[in-house]
């Protein structure tokens, strides 16, 4: 049986789980009061940090699911996303609209990656 590594485990969830060479991240969000662009940048910085802790990097992302509170923010989110993936092969990605857990959150990003 393959080992399972949990990173930044709390009582409700882990921020990342590594199993069989795959890294699964919890949804990452920005901070209340930030613009959609800033929330996206904050979430992406946290994704990059967690991938590093898991022995991976943004260059190893396999897929990304992006949830927006309002699809009207699609272009603003993409401005941050496009900068993030400009120097790496982009992952498979889907974007949808959803009511997020906190009304102050405008974007949430879930990433799956391979270990490096």
Query: Quick one: how many helices (H) and strands (E) in the chain?
Result: 2, 7
Degrees, nearest 5: CA angle 67-38-101: 40
**Ordered alpha helix ranges (H), 5-88:** 36-53, 74-84
Q: Which helix (H) or strand (E) holds 29?
A: strand 28-29
Query: Residue 2's pLDDT is what?
Result: 83
Q: What residue numbers bound the domain in which 104 lies? A: 4-114
3-state secondary structure at position 102: coil
Residue 86: CATH number of its domain: 3.30.1330.40
Q: What is the mean pLDDT of each run of 10 residues along the chain (116 residues)?
A: 93 97 97 97 98 98 98 98 97 98 97 95
Phi, psi of 49, deg, nearest 5: -65, -50
Counted domains in the chain: 1
């Amino acid at each position: 049986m393959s080992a399972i590594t949990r990173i930044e485990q709390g009582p409700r969830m882990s921020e990342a789980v590594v199993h069989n060479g795959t890294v699964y991240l919890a949804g990452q969000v920005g901070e209340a009061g930030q613009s959609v662009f800033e929330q996206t940048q904050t979430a992406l910085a946290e994704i990059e940090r967690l991938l590093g802790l898991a022995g991976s990097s943004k260059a190893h992302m396999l897929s990304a699911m992006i949830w927006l509170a309002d699809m009207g923010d699609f272009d603003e989110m993409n401005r941050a996303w496009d900068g993030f993936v400009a120097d790496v092969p982009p992952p498979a990605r889907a974007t949808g609209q959803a009511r997020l857990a906190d009304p102050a959150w405008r974007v949430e990003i879930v990433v799956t990656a391979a270990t490096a």
